[in-house]
Structure 1
C-alpha cells in the first residue's frame, strides 16, 4: 500500500517524499481513507506509529484555502505537542495559502490576537488558552469542518475533560470528529462517543511499534548511588542523543545541576521552565546541539525526534503504559534503540508490573 492508493494527492506525496516518507504506517493505512470519506474515527496506536500524519494528510487534502473560516481545530494536551503538530503542518503548507495558528499558554496573547485578524484555517491549541480566546470572542468555531483530539488519554489524565466539554459547546453543529490516542480506555471512549456520530474504532496493535527493536536493560542500584550509576552508564554509552526521564520537576532540576557539574551537555524541560526557553531548548535538542534532555513525562509528551538513540529512566514510571510511552521515544523510523531503567529496592513492585506487561524479565546490566 502506498499513499496514492490511500487517496492522497501528488502535492502532499511530494512533501512526504522530501521528508523521506515513502510508505504509510498501519494506523495511516487504516485511518486515511476513512477520514477522507468523512467518517468519525477513534484511533488507537502506540507512540511512534505515525498518528499525527494519519489525521494531518487528509486534513490538508480537504482544506479550502479560499475560505475565510476556521475549518480545523486540533486540541493538544501540552504546548510541546502543539508546537510539534504546528511544525508538521507547516511542511504541507508549500504554497503558504493555508493560515495556521498555534494557540497555547506562555506565548504572547497579543501576537496571537494580531494573527487572528487574518483568516485562519487551522488552529492547534491547548484547551486553556483556546477557552481564553473563546471567552474574548477572538476565535469563532462555528464553521469548523474537523475537530481532532490528540493524545486523548493525556487530556483526561491532565484534567482537561471539563475544558473540552466547554469548547465543544462553541463548535459547529455538524463536523467530523477524530480522536487519537496511544491508549483508549473506557473514559476516552465515553468522551469520544459523546460527540461522535457512529464512529469507527481503529486499533493498531502493539506489534506495529518497534519495541522489538529497542534493547531494554535494568540497572539495580539504590537512591543514594543512582546518580553515580547514571553517570557511569552515560560515560560508557556516550549516546548520540538521549532523553533522561525524572518523576518530578524538582528531581529534574537537581539532576541537571549534578550532570552539568560533571561536564555533561544537558538541559532540563518541564512546566516551570518558561515557554520561550523550552522552545529554544527543544530547537537545540532537535539540532543535536544538546546531547541529553532531562524531562518529566508531561513535558516530554509528543516529543518525536527520530535521532534519539537512548532513553534513560532515571526514575521508574508510575505505570507500565508510561514505561512503553517513554521507551517509544527511541527506536523510531525503523532504527534500533536502547533504554535503561535505574531500579532501587523500593521500585521492585513497579518493575514487576512492567515486566508482567511486557511478558518477559528485562535483562540486568552491571555498572
Structure 2
C-alpha cells in the first residue's frame, strides 16, 4: 500500500477551521448543562466503572457513521518507513503504536457483551470476586462498616480478660473500646454500575424501572451504587438499618426513595388479611422526615415521579391534616386509620396516584390522609400523630438530614415519631452529609432499646456507609475567603461580585480575585432582619436593563407558604438571579444550576458551611464557587471553616493560593473553645443578633450604606411625622369627649 505523507502530517493537527488556532475548552459552570458524570470520585481511575458509565450514557453503536460519544474509528496502521518516531517496525514499536487501538476494540466488545438485553432488560453483570468489589469501592471512596451484627459479639479472649483487682476502671474501658473496634466488620457488596441492572438483579417492579429510566437516570452515584444493593437485597428476607454519610448533591434522595417504593410494592402484593395479621390494622407504610418544608416538598416531587403508575401515593403533610381519626361508630375512643392499602382495582389506584386531591375532608372528624408514604417536617407530623399511641403499619422510617433532626432542636420530636412506629419489621435509615459520633451513638442506643423492649423485633444489622471523607466539602467547588474588615466592607465586596469594576478574561475567571459571580447564586445571612436589610440594599445593584430589582429576592421562615413557594418557583425558572436567605435553604434543597454561594455571614459551624456551599457543584458539576466574607467579629470562629476549606482544596489537588487557604492563615487564626463553638451554634455571632444593632456599637454590624448623619435626620423626620399624627389623634379625641349630648 502506498504511503500518504500528507495523511501522516495531518494526523496531529487539531486547529480551528475559523482561526487556525488550537481550540480552548470553554469555561465550565454548574449551570452550563448536564454533568459529564454524576459521580464525584473514582470515575477517572477505574477501568471497569469508566466502561460501565460510558456505556450507560452512550451505548456503542455499530455503523460506518461515527456517533457522539462513540470511540473514534481506528486509523490505518503506519508502514514501517513512515514511522519516524518508532523503532522501524520492531515489536516495541507495535506495542507502543497499536496496543491502544487494540485495547479500544476489546473494550467495545466487552461493552456490547455487558449491555446485551434480555426481554428489554439489561443482563446482570457477572458476580465479582471480593478483590474486584473491594477495588471498585475503594476507588470510589466508599466504606461500609457493620456497627451492630445479628449475633451477640464474641466475648474477650482469655489473655485480654484480666482481673478487675489488677487494673483500673479506665484501662477496662479502653479494653472494651478496643474489643468493639475489632468487632466492626467491613462489607464489600457488589456495586451497582447501571440502573438497568435493578430489575434483572433485584427484581424491582417493571413500572418503577421504567420511571427511573424516564427520569434520565443511567449511572448511579457513589452512595447509590453502594446503598441500593444493601437495601434491595432480600435473599435472607431482611434488609439492614443504615446510617449513610455522603457529600451534598450525591443523590441520597434517590438512594432511599427507590428501596422504599420497591418495598411498598412487595408489601402490597400480599393480601389484606396478611397485612392485618402482621401489623394489626391498615395505615401508611413509610414516613420520611425532613427539617424544612422546602426539602419535604422536594422529596414529595421526586417520590411522585417514581410512583407514577404504580398506585403508590406520596403525601406532603400540612397543617390541619390528621393521619389518625377517631371512629364515629365507636364510643370507647378507639382509633383507626381509614385507608385501604391493598387496592384490587389497579386502574383506580393509578388514577388516585396522579390525583393531587389526596385528602378527604369531613366536617365532624377532620382531614383524612390517604397515603402510603408520608413526607413531613417533625412538628407537623407530631401534631398529626397526637391522637395515635402507636403506628404499627410503618415499615420504613427515613430521616433526611438526620444530624439536624437528632440535634437538640428537633430531637424530642424526632424520637417521638420514631417511638410511635411500633412495627417489629421497622427499617430505619438516616441520611446526611455530616454526621457526628453523638448521632451515631444515639442511633445505636435507640435501636438497642427497641430490641430490648420488644423481643419480636427483627435483629437486623446497623450499617454505616461513608462516601469520601466525613465532614468535608465537595472537592469540585472553588473556595474563597475574603477579609472585609467591617460591615461596610462586606457590602462593598458583595457589590463588587455583582458588578465588577475590573474585567477578567482568564480561563478561571470565576475564581480570580477581581471576578464576579455568574448568576444565579445564593447569599446566606445569620438572621431574618439581616436578610431583609441586605436584599433591600442590593436590589438596585443590578442594572434596570437586566431586570433590576426583580432579579433579587429574599426567602425566610417568617414568610407564608404561598410566598415561599412563589419565590422558589421564580428562582428555579431563572426569573430571580440573587436569592438572599437564611439557613432555611442550607440543607437538602437541590439547585443544580447554582453557580455560586456567598456566605455574607459566616455559618455557625463547620457542618453548616459544608451544607451551605453544597448548594452548588451538585451531581458532579464543576465550576461552583463558594465565597465567604468575614469581618473582625468573625475571626475567633473562622478556623473550623478554614480547616474545611483546606481539606477540600487538598482533596481537589490545589495548593492553596488566592482561592484557597494559605498556611499562615491557618496558623494565625485562634482556635475556638468548646464553649465558644456551642454558643456560636446556638446563638450565632452575638453582635449580629436581633436587637444588638440598636445598642452601643451596633452601627458596626448594621447593613446600610447611609452615614450616621443621614440616618439621624431620617429618624428626626420620622419622629416629627409620628408626633404630628399623635397630636391630631389627641385633638380629635378631645373634641369627641367635649360633647355633652343634646339639651332637653
Fold similarity call, TM over 0.5: yes
1:49–1:208: 8 Å Cα contact kept in structure 2?
no
- The equivalent of 1:296 in structure 2 is 582
1:43–1:202: 8 Å Cα contact kept in structure 2?
yes
Tell me if 1:21 matches 2:217: yes
Given candidates 239, 242, 246, the residue that maps to 2:518 is 239
User: What CA distance in whole angstroms lies between the structure 1 residues aligned with 2:411 and 2:297?
Assistant: 21
- The equivalent of 1:71 in structure 2 is 285
TM-score w.r.t. length of structure 2 = 0.46
1:276-355 aligned at under 5 Å gives the runs: 276-336=562-622, 337-355=624-642
User: What CA distance in whole angstroms lies between the structure 1 residues aligned with 2:471 and 2:642?
Assistant: 19
Mean Cα deviation higher: 227-236 or 1-10: 1-10
Larger Rg: 2
2:292–2:584: 8 Å Cα contact kept in structure 1?
yes
1:16 Cα shift?
3.2
User: What CA distance in whole angstroms lies between the structure 2 residues aligned with 1:35 and 1:17?
Assistant: 20
1:244 Cα shift?
0.7
- The equivalent of 2:412 in structure 1 is 162
Change (3 A) 1:76 1:233: same
- The equivalent of 1:119 in structure 2 is 370
Given candidates 184, 195, 211, the residue that maps to 1:3 is 195
1:39-50 aligned at under 5 Å gives the runs: 39-50=240-251
User: What CA distance in whole angstroms lies between the structure 2 residues aligned with 1:13 and 1:124?
Assistant: 22
Query: Aligned to 1:256, what secondary structure does the other structure show?
Result: helix
- The equivalent of 2:438 in structure 1 is 187
TM-score w.r.t. length of structure 1 = 0.89
1:130-279 aligned at under 5 Å gives the runs: 130-137=381-388, 141-157=391-407, 159-174=409-424, 175-196=426-447, 197-206=460-469, 211-221=474-484, 222-236=486-500, 237=516, 239-262=518-541, 263-264=548-549, 265-279=551-565
Unaligned runs of 5+ in 2: 1-192, 234-238, 273-281, 323-356, 362-366, 448-459, 501-515, 542-547, 650-655, 661-744
Tell me if 1:81 matches 2:295: yes
Query: Aligned to 1:247, what secondary structure does the other structure show?
Result: coil
Tell me if 1:59 matches 2:228: no
Structure with greater proportional strand content:
1
1:297 Cα shift?
1.3
Query: Aligned to 2:488, what secondary structure does the other structure show?
Result: coil
Number of aligned residue pairs: give it.
362
User: What CA distance in whole angstroms lies between the structure 2 residues aligned with 1:179 and 1:2?
Assistant: 24
Change (3 A) 1:353 1:324: same
- The equivalent of 2:12 in structure 1 is none
User: What CA distance in whole angstroms lies between the structure 2 residues aligned with 1:90 and 1:128?
Assistant: 23
1:215–1:338: 8 Å Cα contact kept in structure 2?
yes
1:218–1:362: 8 Å Cα contact kept in structure 2?
no
1:159 Cα shift?
1.4
User: What CA distance in whole angstroms lies between the structure 2 residues aligned with 1:14 and 1:309?
Assistant: 32
- The equivalent of 1:95 in structure 2 is 309
User: What CA distance in whole angstroms lies between the structure 1 residues aligned with 2:390 and 2:301?
Assistant: 23
Computed over aligned residues only, the root mean square deviation of the Cα atoms, in angstroms, reads 2.7
Q: Which has the higher contact order (CA 8 A, sep 6+)?
A: 1
Q: Over residues 156-178 of structure 1, what are the superposed CA-to-partner deviations in whole Å (9 max), with x where a residue is unaligned?
A: 33611111222233213321111
Q: Over residues 117-175 of structure 1, what are the superposed CA-to-partner deviations in whole Å (9 max), with x where a residue is unaligned?
A: 363100001111111111145x9732111111111111133611111222233213321
Q: Over residues 17-52 of structure 1, what are the superposed CA-to-partner deviations in whole Å (9 max), with x where a residue is unaligned?
A: 333321111111111121123211111112111111
1:26–1:208: 8 Å Cα contact kept in structure 2?
no
Mean Cα deviation higher: 244-253 or 31-40: 31-40
User: What CA distance in whole angstroms lies between the structure 2 residues aligned with 1:170 and 1:362?
Assistant: 52
Change (3 A) 1:353 1:165: closer
User: What CA distance in whole angstroms lies between the structure 2 residues aligned with 1:144 and 1:254?
Assistant: 45
Mean Cα deviation higher: 111-120 or 139-148: 111-120
Unaligned runs of 5+ in 1: none
1:225 Cα shift?
2.3
User: What CA distance in whole angstroms lies between the structure 2 residues aligned with 1:209 and 1:17?
Assistant: 31
